[in-house]
Amino acid sequence: MEVTECLKWVNKLRGPHKVIPIEDLYEALESLQVLGQGMTLLEPSPGQKFIVSVPLELNQDQALVLQQGAQTGYVQVDMFPSWTFPRFQQALDALVSQGIVWVDYQETPFKYWFPSHSLFK
């Protein structure tokens, strides 16, 4: 989930008179580090930060997919015209297996949704 989206939802749940700053969110995430690698902060590109709740190391292709998904809420193979299909599929496999991306088999070509983005908009 993108950090700004998380902050938006935390503040919505707390109400208008109990708004917390983003620094407090970062501090809370840092305090969770003592529990292990369950919650980490990921920065796939400058200025774009995501909270990841599973230990995951992204390669460059996965980071590009994540970047695109942060903008649109989903990705499809035709959004990466210079990539071969196997390259696209390999980039998505780890994200799907970790539950970061959901596959919509009813679309052609398949759409890969980012629930942390699309469910909270």
Q: Prior bond to 44 cis, omega within 30?
A: no
Q: What is the pTM of this model?
A: 0.57
pLDDT at site 117: 65
The DSSP code sequence of 81-102 is TTS-HHHHHHHHHHHHHTTSSE
* pLDDT of 120 over the 70 cut: no
Amino acid letter, residue 59: N
pLDDT at site 50: 80
pLDDT at site 37: 64
- What is the tens place of the pLDDT at every residue in 41-75? 777 767 778 877 766 677 889 988 988 888 888 99
Say how far apart CA 34 and CA 37 lie, in whole Å.
8
Residue with tokens 């503040």: 11
Sketch out the chain's domains with CATH numbers.
3-118 (1.10.10.10)
Q: Return the percentage of the chain with pLDDT > 70, whole number.
A: 88
Say how far apart CA 43 and CA 26 lie, in whole Å.
13
Going by C-beta distance under 8 Å and a sequence separation of 6 or more, which residues neighbour residue 43?
Answer: 49, 50
Burial class (CB in 10 A: 0-12, 13-18, 19+), 99: exposed
| Mean pLDDT calculated for residue range 107-117 | 84
Residue with tokens 């599973």: 54
